[in-house]
Amino acid sequence: MKFAWNALLLTTTLILVPTTANSESVRENTTNGLIVANEPETDKTDNNNDEETEVTTEEKRQQLIQQLLPDHSEETKNYLNQLAEADQSYQAGNHQQARDRYQKAKSAFYPEAFNPEKVESSRNPYSDPEQLSPGGNVFWGYGKQEFDPKLKSKSLAPLSHLVEQEPDFIPGHIRYAEALEFFDQREQAITHLESIVPQYPEQVELVETLLSLYEKEQQWLDASLTARRFALFNREHERAEEFSNAADEYFEDYRSQLRAKLRGNVIANVITGGVGYALTGSLLGPFSAIESTALLLQGESSVGERLSSRLQEELPLVEDEELNEYVNEIGANITQYSGREDFDYEFYIIKDDNLNAFALPGGKIFINSGAILETDSEAELAGLIAHEIGHVVLSHGFQLITEGNLLANVGQFVPFGRTAANLIVLDYSRDMEREADELGTQLLASTEYAADGIYRLMTTLNEINQNRSTPPAWLSTHPDTAERVDNIKTQIVENNYNRFSFEGVKRHQQMQEKVAQILADADLEGEIDLQGEEEEEEEDSPEEIDLN
Residues binding Zn ion (CB under 5 A):
433, 436, 548
Cβ proximity to Zn ion: between 357 and 373 the closer is 357
- Report the nearest approach of Zn ion to the CB of residue 483 (Å): 14
Least distance in angstroms from the C-beta of 543 to Zn ion: 17
User: Which is nearer to Zn ion, 388 or 523 (by Cβ)?
Assistant: 388
Q: How far is the CB of 548 from Zn ion (least distance, A)?
A: 4
Minimum Å gap between C-beta 482 and Zn ion is 16
DSSP state, residue 219: -
Which CB, 37 or 457, lies closer to Zn ion?
457
Q: How far apart (Å, rounded) are the C-alpha atoms in residues 30 and 36?
A: 11
Closer by beta carbon to Zn ion, 132 or else 436: 436
Q: Which is nearer to Zn ion, 32 or 429 (CB)?
A: 429
164/135 Cα distance (integer angstroms): 12
Pick the closer one to Zn ion by CB: 179 or 359. Answer: 359
391/489 with CB nearer Zn ion: 391
Reduced to 3 states, what is the DSSP secondary structure of residue 314?
Answer: helix
Cβ-based neighbours of 376, under 8 Å, separated by 6 or more:
70, 76, 80, 456, 460, 505, 508
Question: Is the CB of 213 or the CB of 436 nearer to Zn ion?
Answer: 436
Q: How far is the CB of 477 from Zn ion (least distance, A)?
A: 8
Residue 49's Cα: distance from chain center in Å? 46
Could you say which DSSP state residue 183 is in?
A: T
Nearer to Zn ion, 433 or 438 (CB): 433
Residue 530 beta carbon to Zn ion: minimum distance, rounded to whole angstroms: 25
Handedness of CA 188, 194, 200, 205 (dihedral sign): positive
CB of 383 to Zn ion, least distance (A): 12
179 in Cβ contact with 157 (< 8 Å) = no
Output the residue with the shortest Cβ distance to Zn ion: 548
Q: Distance of CA 265 to CAs 254, 287, 293, 511, 541, Å? A: 17, 18, 12, 53, 43
Q: How far is the C-alpha of 506 from the C-alpha of 501, rounded, in Å?
A: 15
- As measured in angstroms, the least distance from the Cβ of 338 to Zn ion is 16
CA 170 to CA 175: how far, in whole Å?
Answer: 9
Report how far apart, in Å, the C-alpha atoms of 297 and of each of 56, 103, 258 are.
56, 50, 7
Q: How far is the CB of 433 from Zn ion (least distance, A)?
A: 5
| Tally of CB atoms within 10 A around 238 | 8
Q: How far apart are CA 43 and CA 50, in angstroms?
A: 10
CB under 8 Å to 140, separation ≥6 — which residues?
129, 132, 158, 162, 169, 172
